A = this chain, B = another copy of it.
Amino acid sequence: MQAGPILVYSEYTADLPRFERLLSAALPEAEIHYARSLDEAIPHLERATIFYGWGFPAEFLSKMPKLRWVQKMGAGVDDIIDAWPCRPEVILTRTDGKLIAPRMSEYVLGAILNRSVRFDLARRQQAHRQWNFFEIGTIRSLTIGIAGVGEIGTMIAATLRLLGAQVIGWRRTRASSPELEKIFVGNAALPEFLGRCDVVVLVLPLTSATRRLFDADVIDCCRPGVHLINVGRGGVVDEQALLRAIEGGRVGHATLDVFRTEPLPQEHPFWTNPHITITPHVCGPLVPADVVPHFVSNHAAFLAGKPLMHVVDLDRQY
């Protein structure tokens, strides 16, 4: 494959110098341009053959006539798949979930421990100088359900099992995972799966099959007081239904890293709900040192005309 300029795009000002340092060391021969905005990217759209980015306007891709390969900085591609230029010569790859999963696993574990150790209660007491003993829970007594058992969900499950939690899984299709006590498959099995979980962790991609899958009826299948954690995609959850389920006590707490609209709009009712913990999509954006080796390997394969890793199946949408 003919080499050509690489365009690297990240909205995060702090990331770009780190990508630059790592990439220029790994690929000293390559012509690489870096952009953190539309304006910075425009001069390079015409010539670039490789695009490595996250958070870029999807229509970029149709303005890149020489484009041959898009490496998404991230595991999810729902944001670009609708505007995908569907030219047979352009390959789309996503980042190996295994590179993202360790930090996501720690996020999920931290969210679970926050509630089961009851640091939230401790904070409320501290604010009022209250010394009231409470008994701390243990993750060993929890059944935790992972909805979406791909690379990332599997690693989250493995981490939670290390600590003695009972971990079960749900996925839309196929059934296999050695990291789970039990796996439920297909929409018909969702109510039974949810009925067993003290904590539900959503790690689902956003596709036409998962959009708003967690609506009022599905959420109502959860155990009363369930802790819902979403580190997948916000569009999988009906946000109004979630608010009503919190009001009614069906959902005891929600820890949300992803939202239907990001950044979460200023007027959104989630911000002030005491039963919701909001983080600004911190799971998924990539730490350069974690993921650059994956890009470098794929780049070598691309130049050699060999198959790339983690090519997106455009029908499956992930």
* Chain B proximity of A134: nearest CB distance (Å): 6
A278 with B12, Cβ < 8 A, contacts A109-B113, A163-B106 known: no
Q: How far is the CA of A282 from the CA of B117 in the complex (A)?
A: 9
Q: How far is the CA of A24 from the CA of B117 in the complex (A)?
A: 29
Of the residues B107, B135, B159, contact of A117 by C-beta under 8 Å:
B107
Residues on B with beta carbons closer than 8 Å to the beta carbon of A287:
135
Residues on B with beta carbons closer than 8 Å to the beta carbon of A306:
none
Task: Tell whether, in the assembled complex, residue A136 and residue B283 are in contact, meaning their CB atoms are under 8 Å apart.
Answer: yes
- Interface stretch of the complex, out of A33-41, A67-75, A122-130: A122-130
Residues on B with beta carbons closer than 8 Å to the beta carbon of A65:
none
Asked whether any CB of chain B lies closer than 8 Å to the CB of A103, the reply is yes
Task: Tell whether, in the assembled complex, residue B138 and residue A106 are in contact, meaning their CB atoms are under 8 Å apart.
Answer: yes
What are 8 A-B residue pairs whose CB atoms fall within 8 Å in the complex? Answer: A106-B136, A107-B136, A109-B113, A109-B163, A110-B114, A122-B277, A131-B280, A162-B162
Seen from chain A, the residues whose Cβ lies within 8 Å of a Cβ on chain B are: 12, 14, 102-103, 106-107, 109-111, 113-114, 116-119, 122-123, 125-126, 129, 131-136, 138-140, 159, 162-164, 262-264, 266, 271, 277-283, 285, 287
Q: Which 7 A-B pairs have the closest CB atoms?
A: A110-B113, A131-B263, A110-B117, A122-B279, A131-B280, A162-B162, A126-B278
Give 11 A-B pairs besides A12-B133, A102-B164, A113-B113 with Cβ atoms closer than 8 angstroms: A14-B135, A106-B116, A106-B138, A122-B278, A126-B277, A126-B278, A133-B281, A133-B282, A134-B280, A136-B282, A136-B283
